[in-house]
Structure 1
Amino acid sequence: MDVVAGMVNVVAYYRVSTKGQGESGLGIEAQRTYVQMAAKQQGWNVVAEYTDTVSGTIAPVERPERPECRKALSHGLPIVAAKIDRISRSVLHIAQLMEKVDFKIATMPMADRFQLHLYAALAEQERQFISQRTKDALGALQERADSGCAVSKEKVNRRSDNLVLARKAKQEKAAQNASSPKGQGHQAKLAPYVMAALYKGVSTLQALADALNAQALLTSRGGEWSPTTVRRLMLALDVTFKKA
C-alpha cells in the first residue's frame, strides 16, 4: 500500500445487488465516481477497492469480500462507500459494523457516528416503504386477476413460474456447493470443531456460530458464521444438539 504524503489512506467498498449489475459495471462506476470525488475533496488516498455482488439484506460481516477487506482493515484503514445503503439499509448492521471498523460515506463525508445512525434509520425506513409498495402492487394485481382480468392473470402466472424457477435454481446451486469436493472438504475440516463445541454443551445455533467465529473459522464463502450458515453445516454433517 503506497502512502501519499498529507493524505489519509482508505479502502473503497462497492456493492451491487445482482450478478448482471456486477458484470456490466452498472452502478459500480457511479459508486466509484462518488468515492473518487470525495477522496479528492477530503484528501483520501484509495489504496484498495473491494466489490460485492450481494443483497443488502446480507450482513456486511457475512459478505464474500469481507475476509479480503478485513486484511486491509487490519492496518486500521477506514472503509469508504458511495452511499450508506451500499453498506446496508439495516440500522442493526450499521451499528454492528461501527463497533468493528471506522467507515465514511462519500456523499456525506463529514457525517459523524450519530448522523450515520440517523441516515441508516432513514435508509431502513425507505426499504420498508419499498417492500410495502411492492406488496400493495402485487395485492392489487392479484385482485384484478381474481376479478377476471386476463392480462393480470397472465402476469400473476408468469411471476409465479419465475419464482418457482428461481427457487429451484437456488436449491440446485446450494446442493452443488454442498456436494462439491471443495464444500465437502471444508465441512470435514470443521467437523472436529463442531463436535467439540457440542461436547462442551453448546445448544443453540447462535452459540455454535459464536464458538466457530471465536476460533476465526470461516464459512466456505469466507464469511463469519450466523445461525443460518451453522444450520446448513449441521445438516451437512448430520449432527444435532444434545437433548437436555
Structure 2
Amino acid sequence: MRVVSYLRVSTARQGASGLGLDAQRAAVTAYISAGGHTLATEYVEVESGTKAGRPQLIAALAECRLHKTTLLIAKLDRLARNVAFIANLMDGGVDFVACDMPQANRLTLHLLAAIAEHEREMISQRTKAALAAAKVRGVRLGNPRGGEVLAGTYREGAAASAAGRRAKADQHSRAAAPAIREIVTSGLDSSRAIATALNRRGIPSPTGGTWYEEQVRRTRRLSL
C-alpha cells in the first residue's frame, strides 16, 4: 500500500525544535515498516488542530485523491479535534489510517474525535479560568511594551506566513502536475479547458478551492 503521511504540531516552537514531530514520524515509520508499505510523500503542518483550512493537509488530501493513496497519521488528534471535520473527511473519498489504532472502524473514529474535541474544550476552559483568577489577584497580564513588540512580530510573521503560503502552494501545484499532464495528453491544452477538467475531477487548486486559468498556467510553469 502506498501512503501519504501527515504530521502536525500546534506551535512554531514545536515545529522548529522537532518536539512532537519526531515521535509522530517514528510511529509512521514503524507502521510502514511493519506492513511493508511505501511512503509516497510526507506533509508537515505547524497549525492549530481547531483550524480546518490547513494548506499542508489540503495538499496531502489532494495527492491522496489524485493517486488513490491512503492518508497516514500517527494519532487521530493530530488530524483534528473536531467531530464534524473527521466526519466530512471520512465522507470525502480519502481513506486514512491512524497508527495508534489502525483497525478502527468509522464508529470508533467518531468516538475518538468526540473525546479529543471534548479534551480541547476542557483545556480552553481551564486556561480561561486560570487567567481570570490571576487577573482577580491583581496579576498584570501581557507585556507593557506589547504594542511595540507585537508590531515587529506581526511584520516578521506576515512575511514568513506569505513565504510559507507561496511554498505550500507551489508544492500543491507540483502534486497536481501529473493530472494536468494526463488531461493535456487526452487532447485538452487550453488553460481554461484544463481548469474545467480539474474541477470536474474534484482536485483542489493550490489554494484549496476552484481552479482558474492563471493557476493552471502557474502550475504548468512550475512543472516544466
* TM-score > 0.5, shorter chain as reference: yes
Query: How has the CA–CA distance of structure 1 residues 224 and 41 changed in structure 2, closer, same or farther, with 3 Å as cutoff?
Result: same
Structure 2 counterpart SS, 1:32? helix
| Aligned equivalents of 1:38, 1:176: Cα separation in 2 | 33
Displacement after TM superposition at 1:40 (Å): 2.9
Is structure 2 residue 59 aligned with structure 1 residue 68?
yes
Determine the structure 2 residue equivalent to 1:114: 107
Structure 1 counterpart SS, 2:55? coil
Is structure 2 residue 213 aligned with structure 1 residue 223?
no
Equivalent residues of 2:71, 2:96 under 8 A apart: yes
Displacement after TM superposition at 1:34 (Å): 1.1
Determine the structure 2 residue equivalent to 1:237: none
Is structure 2 residue 78 aligned with structure 1 residue 86?
yes
Displacement after TM superposition at 1:75 (Å): 1.4
Is structure 2 residue 46 aligned with structure 1 residue 53?
yes
Displacement after TM superposition at 1:169 (Å): 4.2
Please give the residue correspondences for 1:11-160 in structure 2 after superposition, counting only pairs within 5 Å.
11-59=4-52, 62-69=53-60, 70-100=62-92, 101-145=94-138, 152-153=139-140, 156-158=141-143
| Aligned equivalents of 2:156, 2:31: Cα separation in 1 | 42
| Aligned equivalents of 1:105, 1:18: Cα separation in 2 | 21
Equivalent residues, number: 172
Identity %: 40
Query: How has the CA–CA distance of structure 1 residues 11 and 157 changed in structure 2, closer, same or farther, with 3 Å as cutoff?
Result: closer
Structure 2 counterpart SS, 1:57? coil
Displacement after TM superposition at 1:10 (Å): 1.2
Query: How has the CA–CA distance of structure 1 residues 95 and 165 changed in structure 2, closer, same or farther, with 3 Å as cutoff?
Result: farther
Equivalent residues of 2:7, 2:73 under 8 A apart: yes
Query: How has the CA–CA distance of structure 1 residues 175 and 122 changed in structure 2, closer, same or farther, with 3 Å as cutoff?
Result: same
Equivalent residues of 1:66, 1:223 under 8 A apart: no
Equivalent residues of 1:38, 1:107 under 8 A apart: no
| Aligned equivalents of 1:28, 1:73: Cα separation in 2 | 25
Displacement after TM superposition at 1:172 (Å): 7.9
TM (normalized to structure 2)? 0.65
- The CA RMSD measured in Å over matched residues stands at 3.1
Unaligned segments of structure 2, at least 5 residues: 167-198, 211-224
Structure 2 counterpart SS, 1:74? helix
Q: 14-23 vs 50-59, which deviates more?
A: 14-23
Q: Which amino acid aligns with 2:68?
A: G
| Aligned equivalents of 1:217, 1:105: Cα separation in 2 | 23
Query: How has the CA–CA distance of structure 1 residues 132 and 177 changed in structure 2, closer, same or farther, with 3 Å as cutoff?
Result: closer
Displacement after TM superposition at 1:99 (Å): 1.4
Displacement after TM superposition at 1:53 (Å): 1.3
Equivalent residues of 2:63, 2:69 under 8 A apart: no
TM (normalized to structure 1)? 0.60
Equivalent residues of 1:15, 1:51 under 8 A apart: yes
Structure 2 counterpart SS, 1:109? coil
Q: Which has the higher contact order (CA 8 A, sep 6+)?
A: 2
Equivalent residues of 1:39, 1:46 under 8 A apart: yes
Displacement after TM superposition at 1:106 (Å): 0.5
Structure 2 counterpart SS, 1:140? helix
Unaligned segments of structure 1, at least 5 residues: 1-7, 146-151, 183-212, 226-244
Query: How has the CA–CA distance of structure 1 residues 81 and 166 changed in structure 2, closer, same or farther, with 3 Å as cutoff?
Result: farther
| Per-residue deviation, residues 123-167 of structure 1 (Å, max 9, x unmatched) | 00000010011011001101101xxxxxx23xx143x75588448
